[in-house]
Amino acid sequence: MIKNDLFLRALRGETVERPPVWMMRQAGRYLPEFMALKEKYDFFTRCRTPELAAEITVQPIRIVKPDAAILFSDILVIPQAMNIEVEMKNGVGPWLPNPIRSQKDVDQVVIPDIHEELGYVMDAIKLTKEQLNDEVPLIGFAGSPWTILCYAVQGQGSKSFDLAKGFCFSQPEAAHQLLQKITDTTITYLKEKVKAGVNAVQIFDSWGGMLSPEDYREFSWKYINQIVEALAPLTEVIVFGKGCWFALGEMAKSKASALGVDWTCSARNARYLTGGNITLQGNFDPSRLLSPPATIKKMVHQMINEFGKDKYVVNLGHGILPNIPVDHAKAFIEAVKEYETISS
């Protein structure tokens, strides 16, 4: 039994004494302890070494004490397993030397044996579960098929993902084949994560907001929903689409347990668009963690009042930034834990 199961109870829509809290990208770059490991080991070595991944996952649980852990990994381990080369370049971020631009390229993409190619992730989950000792739940994750396609076709990060969009619009058949291959791989991958011990999964659609509502339905949501349908009978599923407020109504009709909201959508609008019946997660502006701790606490309490304490998971509206002082991250978490005493 997990000692602190607030997060899972909130995902199930149960009444809670206070909302749970965790932060996207909480296992990482704002923590000095993480930076010390970054100095020693390159990015994918950290992802592929179960002992390192487990240590990085558990660091924020010890230091800032959120209500859930999220496994340290990366969404781009999926394309790597699918015969798409991915590097992490300093100052550039993800770099794919041979981007996918044609039907021939799509034909070279494989649906891998998950244990063979991504067994190290399952080992990291088992090790992390041991270290967590049932203190808090563990979240596993994957990128949405559309977001993975964006990197696979563009070859790197982008402000517009024009090449990725152009590929979908000029070669839709090849694009849909690629999206389906990513979807099938992701479903198997997440199912294996659940078997290995994660208590919930999150799908990150970081670049969904790049698409028009109609194109989002065709090139993103259709595939995310396949993943939700496959995983919902096995575990709690959170869908986070950055900039995808326009799709919240449709997402709310799915079997997802919760929907992530970014900071550009108010709590009131998010509740209205989703019909008020699904758990929401978010949506503190990550840059707001640069505010003084007293301001952070005041704003967090206001945010909880706006969303309501039930059917709500406190989080940021995107990943925590590397320049956030640890004390400010702690203030964010503490504000939620203090809410109980203030509101009761």
Q: Which residues are annotated as a binding site for substrate?
A: 25-29, 44, 74, 151, 206, 318
Burial (Cβ within 10 Å: 0-12, 13-18, ≥19) of residue 260: buried
Contact 135, 68 (CB under 8 A): no
The closest of 5, 13, 4 to 257, measured between CA atoms, is 13
User: If residue 69 lies in a helix (H) or strand (E), which one and from where to where?
Assistant: strand 69-70
Annotated binding site: 25-29, 44, 74, 151, 206, 318
Rounded alpha-carbon distances, angstroms, from residue 287 to 20, 217, 256, 328: 21, 30, 28, 11
Instruction: Return d(Cα 229, Cα 158) in angstroms, integer.
Output: 30
Which token pair is 93?
């971020």
Query: What sign does the CA torsion over 161, 166, 172, 177 have?
Result: negative
